[in-house]
């Protein structure tokens, strides 16, 4: 099958793609390692806790389906993650009271406390390994790139 020359990766495009992949993998691994070391949380733990923490009231809950959409995760991945977190007492799942279908996910007091204690060190790690290494213009460029690619998925 012939390739369209507009879709092949030329030297610059290939170098940019490789640089992006390497950078993403290295920074993600370093920040995840810091988070685990400092708090005992995995990055998926933290992402779930952060999404639940963003709900407006302390006892607010969200449907599993809504949380999966919020995180951009497959339902099966989220279900496994929630099971691990529920066993550790970080979240609770309860039958949805609104319509009786599916489960609501809520942050437990223990989960909230662990998230709040982990957040300062996590933010420092992100700053040390990523945002603090870039100028304001570079950060703006990165935001613009994300917006440009946002519709591509």
Please give the CATH number for the structural domain made up of 32-152: 1.10.10.10
pLDDT of residue 95: 85
Nearest-angstrom CA–CA distance, 51 and 55: 7
Residues counted in the chain: 153
- Mean per-residue pLDDT pooled into runs of 10, the chain (153 residues): 63 92 97 98 97 78 89 95 97 81 88 96 98 97 92 49
Give pTM, 2 decimals: 0.84
Nearest Cα to Cα of residue 40 among 129, 128, 118: 118
CA pseudo-torsion sign 52, 54, 58, 60: negative
Q: Confirm if 42 and 35 have CB atoms less than 8 A apart.
A: yes
pLDDT of residue 1: 47
Radius of gyration of the chain (CA): 19
């Amino acid at each position: 099958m012939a390739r369209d020359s507009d879709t092949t990766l030329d030297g610059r495009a290939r170098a940019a793609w490789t640089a992006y992949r390497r950078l993403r993998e290295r920074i993600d691994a370093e920040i995840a390692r810091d988070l685990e070391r400092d708090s005992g949380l995995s990055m998926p733990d933290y992402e779930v806790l952060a999404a639940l923490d963003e709900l407006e009231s302390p006892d607010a809950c969200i449907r599993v389906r809504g949380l999966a959409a919020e995180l951009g995760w497959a339902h099966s991945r989220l279900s496994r993650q929630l099971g691990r977190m529920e066993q550790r007492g970080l979240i609770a799942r309860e039958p949805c009271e609104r319509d009786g279908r599916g489960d609501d996910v809520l942050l437990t007091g223990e989960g909230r406390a662990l998230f709040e204690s982990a957040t300062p060190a996590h933010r420092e790690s992100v700053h040390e390994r990523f945002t603090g290494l870039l100028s304001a213009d570079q950060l703006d460029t990165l935001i613009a790139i994300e917006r440009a690619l946002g519709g591509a998925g």
